[in-house]
Structure 1
Amino acid sequence: MNMKLQSEIAPITIRNITEEELQHLWEISYGPTADLTWKDFDGPYFNDPILSWPEYKEGFGSRFLNDESAGVIFYEEEMVGVVTAYFEDGSLKRWLEFGIAIYQPKNWNKGIGSKASDLWIKHLFYTYPKIARVGYTTWSGNNRMMALGEKIGMKKEAQIRKVRYWQGQFWDSVKYGILREELNLNQQVIPNA
Protein backbone atom coordinates (compact mmCIF):
# COMPACT_ATOMS: atom_id res chain seq x y z
CA MET A 1 0.00 0.00 0.00
CA ASN A 2 1.18 3.47 -0.81
CA MET A 3 -0.67 5.94 1.44
CA LYS A 4 -0.29 9.70 1.15
CA LEU A 5 -2.63 12.15 2.90
CA GLN A 6 -2.26 15.88 2.39
CA SER A 7 -3.84 18.57 4.57
CA GLU A 8 -5.65 21.33 2.70
CA ILE A 9 -5.13 23.83 5.54
CA ALA A 10 -1.57 23.20 6.73
CA PRO A 11 1.78 22.03 5.30
CA ILE A 12 1.20 18.54 6.73
CA THR A 13 1.48 15.22 4.92
CA ILE A 14 1.00 11.75 6.35
CA ARG A 15 2.42 8.92 4.31
CA ASN A 16 4.20 5.62 4.35
CA ILE A 17 7.94 5.92 4.03
CA THR A 18 10.60 4.11 2.07
CA GLU A 19 13.11 1.67 3.54
CA GLU A 20 15.77 4.34 2.96
CA GLU A 21 13.83 6.83 5.15
CA LEU A 22 13.19 4.37 7.99
CA GLN A 23 16.56 4.88 9.66
CA HIS A 24 15.98 8.65 9.82
CA LEU A 25 12.66 8.00 11.58
CA TRP A 26 14.48 5.85 14.13
CA GLU A 27 17.17 8.53 14.54
CA ILE A 28 14.65 11.25 15.46
CA SER A 29 12.65 8.97 17.76
CA TYR A 30 15.14 6.63 19.47
CA GLY A 31 18.59 7.26 17.98
CA PRO A 32 21.62 8.27 20.05
CA THR A 33 21.09 11.99 19.36
CA ALA A 34 17.26 11.94 19.63
CA ASP A 35 15.56 14.19 22.18
CA LEU A 36 13.65 11.60 24.21
CA THR A 37 11.49 14.13 26.06
CA TRP A 38 8.49 12.80 24.09
CA LYS A 39 8.72 9.55 26.06
CA ASP A 40 7.85 11.47 29.26
CA PHE A 41 4.35 11.94 27.82
CA ASP A 42 3.83 8.75 25.82
CA GLY A 43 2.61 6.42 28.54
CA PRO A 44 5.82 6.72 30.59
CA TYR A 45 4.34 4.44 33.28
CA PHE A 46 4.77 1.50 30.87
CA ASN A 47 8.57 1.95 30.94
CA ASP A 48 8.84 1.04 27.25
CA PRO A 49 12.46 0.45 26.19
CA ILE A 50 14.57 2.66 23.97
CA LEU A 51 14.66 0.62 20.76
CA SER A 52 17.95 -0.11 19.02
CA TRP A 53 18.09 0.28 15.24
CA PRO A 54 17.79 -3.50 14.62
CA GLU A 55 14.86 -3.79 17.08
CA TYR A 56 13.10 -0.82 15.48
CA LYS A 57 13.76 -1.94 11.90
CA GLU A 58 12.43 -5.46 12.49
CA GLY A 59 9.61 -4.49 14.88
CA PHE A 60 7.67 -1.28 15.47
CA GLY A 61 9.30 0.72 12.68
CA SER A 62 8.51 -1.77 9.94
CA ARG A 63 4.82 -0.87 10.02
CA PHE A 64 5.55 2.61 8.62
CA LEU A 65 6.69 1.14 5.32
CA ASN A 66 3.35 -0.08 3.95
CA ASP A 67 0.76 -0.48 6.71
CA GLU A 68 -2.57 1.34 6.26
CA SER A 69 -2.83 1.70 10.05
CA ALA A 70 0.44 3.62 10.46
CA GLY A 71 1.89 6.71 8.85
CA VAL A 72 4.71 9.20 9.21
CA ILE A 73 3.92 12.88 9.71
CA PHE A 74 5.81 15.46 7.65
CA TYR A 75 5.54 19.16 8.46
CA GLU A 76 6.88 21.52 5.80
CA GLU A 77 8.45 18.38 4.28
CA GLU A 78 10.38 17.56 7.49
CA MET A 79 9.75 14.20 9.17
CA VAL A 80 8.35 15.08 12.61
CA GLY A 81 6.33 12.17 14.01
CA VAL A 82 4.01 9.23 13.51
CA VAL A 83 0.37 8.20 13.71
CA THR A 84 -0.84 4.67 14.37
CA ALA A 85 -4.11 2.81 14.81
CA TYR A 86 -5.12 -0.52 16.28
CA PHE A 87 -8.29 -2.43 17.02
CA GLU A 88 -8.95 -2.59 20.74
CA ASP A 89 -11.34 -5.49 20.13
CA GLY A 90 -8.94 -7.54 17.98
CA SER A 91 -10.49 -9.52 15.15
CA LEU A 92 -13.97 -8.03 15.71
CA LYS A 93 -12.62 -4.79 14.17
CA ARG A 94 -15.24 -2.37 15.46
CA TRP A 95 -13.34 -0.48 18.22
CA LEU A 96 -10.53 1.55 16.66
CA GLU A 97 -8.01 3.54 18.69
CA PHE A 98 -5.21 5.75 17.39
CA GLY A 99 -1.95 7.16 18.65
CA ILE A 100 0.23 10.08 17.69
CA ALA A 101 3.77 11.16 18.59
CA ILE A 102 5.53 14.37 17.60
CA TYR A 103 9.12 13.63 18.54
CA GLN A 104 11.05 16.87 18.80
CA PRO A 105 9.89 19.51 21.32
CA LYS A 106 10.70 22.25 18.78
CA ASN A 107 7.64 21.01 16.84
CA TRP A 108 5.24 21.08 19.81
CA ASN A 109 2.64 23.82 20.24
CA LYS A 110 2.49 24.53 16.49
CA GLY A 111 -0.83 22.77 15.86
CA ILE A 112 0.87 19.92 14.00
CA GLY A 113 -0.61 17.26 16.26
CA SER A 114 -4.19 18.50 16.02
CA LYS A 115 -4.09 18.98 12.26
CA ALA A 116 -2.40 15.61 11.70
CA SER A 117 -4.88 13.89 14.06
CA ASP A 118 -7.85 15.41 12.25
CA LEU A 119 -6.45 14.24 8.90
CA TRP A 120 -5.66 10.79 10.32
CA ILE A 121 -9.11 10.30 11.85
CA LYS A 122 -10.77 11.13 8.52
CA HIS A 123 -8.46 8.63 6.83
CA LEU A 124 -9.37 5.95 9.38
CA PHE A 125 -13.11 6.47 8.86
CA TYR A 126 -12.57 6.27 5.10
CA THR A 127 -10.34 3.18 5.32
CA TYR A 128 -12.58 1.32 7.78
CA PRO A 129 -16.18 2.06 6.69
CA LYS A 130 -17.70 -0.33 9.26
CA ILE A 131 -16.44 1.51 12.33
CA ALA A 132 -18.66 4.03 14.12
CA ARG A 133 -16.05 5.61 16.42
CA VAL A 134 -12.36 6.47 16.58
CA GLY A 135 -10.70 7.28 19.90
CA TYR A 136 -7.53 7.41 21.93
CA THR A 137 -6.41 7.06 25.51
CA THR A 138 -4.04 9.42 27.28
CA TRP A 139 -3.32 10.26 30.92
CA SER A 140 -3.88 13.28 33.12
CA GLY A 141 -0.20 14.23 33.00
CA ASN A 142 -0.37 14.86 29.24
CA ASN A 143 -2.18 18.19 28.98
CA ARG A 144 -1.37 18.59 25.28
CA MET A 145 -3.12 15.33 24.37
CA MET A 146 -6.18 16.25 26.41
CA ALA A 147 -6.31 19.66 24.69
CA LEU A 148 -5.85 18.01 21.28
CA GLY A 149 -9.04 15.97 21.66
CA GLU A 150 -11.10 18.99 22.61
CA LYS A 151 -9.57 21.11 19.84
CA ILE A 152 -10.58 18.69 17.09
CA GLY A 153 -14.10 18.10 18.38
CA MET A 154 -13.68 14.82 20.23
CA LYS A 155 -15.64 14.07 23.37
CA LYS A 156 -14.08 13.17 26.68
CA GLU A 157 -15.71 9.78 27.19
CA ALA A 158 -14.08 8.51 30.35
CA GLN A 159 -11.70 9.43 33.12
CA ILE A 160 -10.59 6.49 35.20
CA ARG A 161 -9.14 7.96 38.33
CA LYS A 162 -5.72 7.11 39.76
CA VAL A 163 -4.89 4.02 37.68
CA ARG A 164 -1.56 5.14 36.18
CA TYR A 165 1.41 5.26 38.51
CA TRP A 166 4.51 7.24 37.56
CA GLN A 167 7.16 9.17 39.47
CA GLY A 168 5.66 8.25 42.83
CA GLN A 169 2.20 9.58 41.96
CA PHE A 170 -1.11 8.21 40.69
CA TRP A 171 -2.57 9.72 37.51
CA ASP A 172 -5.90 9.34 35.74
CA SER A 173 -6.39 7.49 32.46
CA VAL A 174 -8.45 9.65 30.09
CA LYS A 175 -10.32 8.50 26.97
CA TYR A 176 -11.48 10.63 24.03
CA GLY A 177 -13.55 9.63 21.03
CA ILE A 178 -15.47 10.90 18.04
CA LEU A 179 -18.34 9.26 16.19
CA ARG A 180 -18.54 9.15 12.42
CA GLU A 181 -21.62 11.40 12.44
CA GLU A 182 -19.84 13.99 14.63
CA LEU A 183 -16.96 14.34 12.21
CA ASN A 184 -16.62 17.58 10.27
CA LEU A 185 -16.80 16.28 6.72
CA ASN A 186 -16.15 19.64 5.08
CA GLN A 187 -12.72 18.30 4.18
CA GLN A 188 -12.89 14.93 2.54
CA VAL A 189 -9.95 12.57 2.68
CA ILE A 190 -8.81 11.62 -0.76
CA PRO A 191 -6.53 8.61 -0.43
CA ASN A 192 -3.20 8.68 -2.24
CA ALA A 193 -3.69 12.32 -3.27
Structure 2
Amino acid sequence: MQLKSETSPITIKNITKTELKELWELSYGPKADLTWKNFDGPYFKDPILTWEEYQKGFGKRLITDENAGVIFYGAEMLGVVTAYFEDGSLKRWLEFGISIYQPKNWNKGVGQVAVTLWINYLFALYPKIERIGYTTWSGNGAMIALGEKLGLKKEAQIRKVRYWQGQYWDSIKYGILRTELQSLERV
Protein backbone atom coordinates (compact mmCIF):
# COMPACT_ATOMS: atom_id res chain seq x y z
CA MET A 1 0.00 0.00 0.00
CA GLN A 2 1.22 3.48 -0.87
CA LEU A 3 -0.98 6.57 -0.61
CA LYS A 4 0.28 9.89 -1.96
CA SER A 5 -1.00 13.39 -1.41
CA GLU A 6 -1.55 15.43 -4.55
CA THR A 7 -0.82 18.69 -2.76
CA SER A 8 1.95 17.92 -0.24
CA PRO A 9 4.94 15.61 0.20
CA ILE A 10 2.98 13.40 2.61
CA THR A 11 2.66 9.70 1.85
CA ILE A 12 1.39 6.71 3.79
CA LYS A 13 2.87 3.31 3.07
CA ASN A 14 3.93 0.01 4.51
CA ILE A 15 7.61 -0.12 5.34
CA THR A 16 10.30 -2.73 4.97
CA LYS A 17 11.67 -4.84 7.78
CA THR A 18 14.93 -2.89 7.61
CA GLU A 19 13.08 0.45 8.10
CA LEU A 20 11.23 -0.85 11.15
CA LYS A 21 14.06 -0.18 13.61
CA GLU A 22 14.17 3.49 12.58
CA LEU A 23 10.45 3.81 13.33
CA TRP A 24 10.84 2.09 16.71
CA GLU A 25 13.69 4.48 17.56
CA LEU A 26 11.43 7.43 16.68
CA SER A 27 8.46 6.14 18.67
CA TYR A 28 9.79 4.10 21.61
CA GLY A 29 13.59 3.98 21.45
CA PRO A 30 15.88 5.39 24.15
CA LYS A 31 16.12 8.78 22.39
CA ALA A 32 12.42 9.02 21.46
CA ASP A 33 10.36 11.99 22.64
CA LEU A 34 7.54 10.16 24.41
CA THR A 35 5.31 13.24 24.76
CA TRP A 36 2.95 11.67 22.21
CA LYS A 37 2.01 8.99 24.76
CA ASN A 38 0.42 11.71 26.95
CA PHE A 39 -2.30 12.06 24.29
CA ASP A 40 -2.59 8.50 22.94
CA GLY A 41 -4.96 7.05 25.53
CA PRO A 42 -2.58 7.59 28.47
CA TYR A 43 -5.20 6.22 30.88
CA PHE A 44 -4.55 2.74 29.43
CA LYS A 45 -0.96 2.97 30.71
CA ASP A 46 0.41 1.12 27.69
CA PRO A 47 4.05 0.13 28.18
CA ILE A 48 7.08 1.54 26.38
CA LEU A 49 7.81 -1.26 23.92
CA THR A 50 11.28 -2.74 23.69
CA TRP A 51 12.71 -3.39 20.24
CA GLU A 52 11.98 -7.12 20.66
CA GLU A 53 8.35 -6.49 21.67
CA TYR A 54 7.83 -3.93 18.92
CA GLN A 55 9.17 -6.00 16.03
CA LYS A 56 7.15 -9.07 17.07
CA GLY A 57 3.94 -7.14 17.82
CA PHE A 58 2.75 -3.75 16.69
CA GLY A 59 5.70 -3.06 14.39
CA LYS A 60 5.10 -6.25 12.43
CA ARG A 61 1.74 -4.82 11.27
CA LEU A 62 3.45 -1.90 9.57
CA ILE A 63 5.28 -4.14 7.11
CA THR A 64 2.39 -6.00 5.49
CA ASP A 65 -0.96 -5.13 7.10
CA GLU A 66 -3.30 -3.20 4.81
CA ASN A 67 -4.85 -1.69 7.97
CA ALA A 68 -1.64 -0.01 9.11
CA GLY A 69 0.80 2.37 7.50
CA VAL A 70 3.62 4.78 8.22
CA ILE A 71 3.23 8.51 7.59
CA PHE A 72 6.15 10.09 5.71
CA TYR A 73 6.96 13.70 4.90
CA GLY A 74 9.25 13.20 1.95
CA ALA A 75 11.72 10.59 3.22
CA GLU A 76 11.17 11.38 6.92
CA MET A 77 9.00 9.05 9.02
CA LEU A 78 6.56 11.02 11.15
CA GLY A 79 4.07 8.55 12.60
CA VAL A 80 1.53 5.85 11.90
CA VAL A 81 -2.11 5.28 10.99
CA THR A 82 -4.03 2.15 11.86
CA ALA A 83 -7.52 0.72 11.48
CA TYR A 84 -9.38 -2.06 13.22
CA PHE A 85 -12.86 -3.52 13.33
CA GLU A 86 -14.63 -2.64 16.56
CA ASP A 87 -17.11 -5.46 15.91
CA GLY A 88 -14.47 -8.13 15.22
CA SER A 89 -15.33 -10.72 12.58
CA LEU A 90 -18.58 -8.93 11.59
CA LYS A 91 -16.40 -6.30 9.87
CA ARG A 92 -18.97 -3.51 9.64
CA TRP A 93 -17.69 -1.05 12.29
CA LEU A 94 -14.31 0.36 11.31
CA GLU A 95 -12.29 2.64 13.59
CA PHE A 96 -8.91 4.25 12.93
CA GLY A 97 -6.08 5.83 14.87
CA ILE A 98 -3.19 8.16 14.14
CA SER A 99 0.00 8.97 16.03
CA ILE A 100 2.53 11.61 15.04
CA TYR A 101 5.51 11.03 17.26
CA GLN A 102 7.53 14.23 17.50
CA PRO A 103 5.93 17.42 18.84
CA LYS A 104 7.90 19.45 16.27
CA ASN A 105 5.61 17.93 13.60
CA TRP A 106 2.34 18.76 15.39
CA ASN A 107 0.04 21.58 14.30
CA LYS A 108 1.46 21.66 10.78
CA GLY A 109 -1.44 20.04 8.91
CA VAL A 110 0.19 16.59 8.73
CA GLY A 111 -2.70 14.94 10.58
CA GLN A 112 -5.28 16.57 8.33
CA VAL A 113 -3.61 15.32 5.15
CA ALA A 114 -2.84 11.87 6.58
CA VAL A 115 -6.35 11.29 7.94
CA THR A 116 -7.95 12.44 4.69
CA LEU A 117 -5.75 10.03 2.71
CA TRP A 118 -6.43 7.27 5.22
CA ILE A 119 -10.23 7.65 5.31
CA ASN A 120 -10.44 7.74 1.49
CA TYR A 121 -8.23 4.65 1.31
CA LEU A 122 -10.26 2.74 3.92
CA PHE A 123 -13.57 3.48 2.19
CA ALA A 124 -12.05 2.21 -1.09
CA LEU A 125 -10.57 -0.85 0.62
CA TYR A 126 -13.86 -1.77 2.32
CA PRO A 127 -16.69 -0.97 -0.11
CA LYS A 128 -19.37 -2.40 2.23
CA ILE A 129 -18.47 -0.10 5.11
CA GLU A 130 -20.84 2.85 5.57
CA ARG A 131 -19.03 4.62 8.44
CA ILE A 132 -15.47 5.16 9.63
CA GLY A 133 -14.60 6.82 12.90
CA TYR A 134 -12.24 7.24 15.80
CA THR A 135 -12.36 7.68 19.55
CA THR A 136 -10.39 10.26 21.50
CA TRP A 137 -10.67 11.87 24.89
CA SER A 138 -11.36 15.39 26.14
CA GLY A 139 -7.68 15.89 27.03
CA ASN A 140 -6.63 15.55 23.39
CA GLY A 141 -7.62 18.90 21.91
CA ALA A 142 -5.68 18.24 18.70
CA MET A 143 -7.75 15.17 17.81
CA ILE A 144 -10.98 16.99 18.65
CA ALA A 145 -9.93 19.92 16.44
CA LEU A 146 -8.90 17.54 13.65
CA GLY A 147 -12.32 15.89 13.57
CA GLU A 148 -14.06 19.25 13.52
CA LYS A 149 -11.75 20.64 10.82
CA LEU A 150 -12.28 17.63 8.55
CA GLY A 151 -16.06 17.74 8.97
CA LEU A 152 -16.43 14.48 10.86
CA LYS A 153 -19.50 14.38 13.08
CA LYS A 154 -19.21 14.28 16.83
CA GLU A 155 -21.30 11.18 17.47
CA ALA A 156 -20.89 10.65 21.19
CA GLN A 157 -19.41 12.15 24.30
CA ILE A 158 -19.36 9.73 27.21
CA ARG A 159 -18.77 11.88 30.23
CA LYS A 160 -16.16 11.22 32.91
CA VAL A 161 -15.11 7.67 31.96
CA ARG A 162 -11.36 8.09 31.37
CA TYR A 163 -9.29 8.48 34.51
CA TRP A 164 -5.81 9.98 34.25
CA GLN A 165 -3.63 12.19 36.43
CA GLY A 166 -6.14 12.18 39.27
CA GLN A 167 -9.17 13.30 37.30
CA TYR A 168 -11.88 12.01 35.00
CA TRP A 169 -12.05 12.92 31.32
CA ASP A 170 -14.70 12.39 28.64
CA SER A 171 -14.44 9.82 25.85
CA ILE A 172 -15.41 11.35 22.50
CA LYS A 173 -16.31 9.61 19.24
CA TYR A 174 -16.15 11.11 15.76
CA GLY A 175 -17.28 9.53 12.50
CA ILE A 176 -18.02 10.07 8.84
CA LEU A 177 -20.43 8.25 6.55
CA ARG A 178 -19.59 7.20 3.03
CA THR A 179 -22.29 9.60 1.79
CA GLU A 180 -20.49 12.46 3.57
CA LEU A 181 -17.12 11.61 2.05
CA GLN A 182 -17.24 14.42 -0.49
CA SER A 183 -16.77 16.84 2.41
CA LEU A 184 -13.20 15.57 2.72
CA GLU A 185 -11.11 17.51 0.23
CA ARG A 186 -8.72 15.66 -2.01
CA VAL A 187 -5.21 16.11 -0.70
Q: TM-score, normalised by structure 2?
A: 0.97
Give the aligned residue type for 1:171: W
Q: Is the 8 A contact 2:138 2:172 kept in 1?
A: yes
Distance, in Å, in 2 between the alignment partners of 1:125 and 1:183 is 9
Aligned-residue CA RMSD in angstroms?
1.1
- Aligned equivalent of 1:145, options 134, 137, 143: 143
1:9 maps to 7
Displacement of 1:152 in angstroms is 1.0
- Aligned equivalent of 2:106, options 101, 105, 108: 108
2:86 maps to 88
Distance, in Å, in 2 between the alignment partners of 1:98 and 1:6 is 18
Give the aligned residue type for 1:46: F
Q: 1:186 to 1:145 in 2, by over 3 A?
A: closer
Structure 1 residue ranges, 4+ long, deviating more than 4 angstroms after superposition: none
Give the aligned residue type for 1:65: I
Distance, in Å, in 2 between the alignment partners of 1:120 and 1:68 is 11
1:133 maps to 131
- Aligned equivalent of 1:30, options 17, 28, 39: 28
Give the aligned residue type for 2:169: W
1:183 maps to 181
Displacement of 1:18 in angstroms is 0.3
Distance, in Å, in 2 between the alignment partners of 1:33 and 1:186 is 36
Post-superposition Cα deviations, 1:115-142, rounded to whole Å, max 9, x if no partner, equal 1001000000000001000000000000
Structure 2 unaligned residues grouped into runs of 5+: none
Q: Is the 8 A contact 2:116 2:186 kept in 1?
A: no
Q: Which residues in structure 2 correspond to 1:50-61 (within 5 Å)? A: 50-61=48-59
Post-superposition Cα deviations, 1:87-112, rounded to whole Å, max 9, x if no partner, equal 00000000000000000000000000
User: Helix, strand or coil for the counterpart of 2:6?
Assistant: coil
Displacement of 1:114 in angstroms is 1.1
1:191 maps to none
1:118 maps to 116
User: Helix, strand or coil for the counterpart of 1:183?
Assistant: helix
Q: Is the 8 A contact 2:28 2:50 kept in 1?
A: yes
- How much identity, in percent, do the aligned residues show? 74
Distance, in Å, in 2 between the alignment partners of 1:134 and 1:171 is 23
User: Helix, strand or coil for the counterpart of 2:128?
Assistant: coil
User: Helix, strand or coil for the counterpart of 1:175?
Assistant: strand
Distance, in Å, in 1 between the alignment partners of 2:128 and 2:89 is 13
Give the aligned residue type for 1:64: L
Structure 1 unaligned residues grouped into runs of 5+: 189-193
Displacement of 1:77 in angstroms is 2.1
Distance, in Å, in 1 between the alignment partners of 2:144 and 2:161 is 17
Give the aligned residue type for 1:103: Y
Displacement of 1:153 in angstroms is 1.2
2:65 maps to 67
Distance, in Å, in 2 between the alignment partners of 1:131 and 1:10 is 28
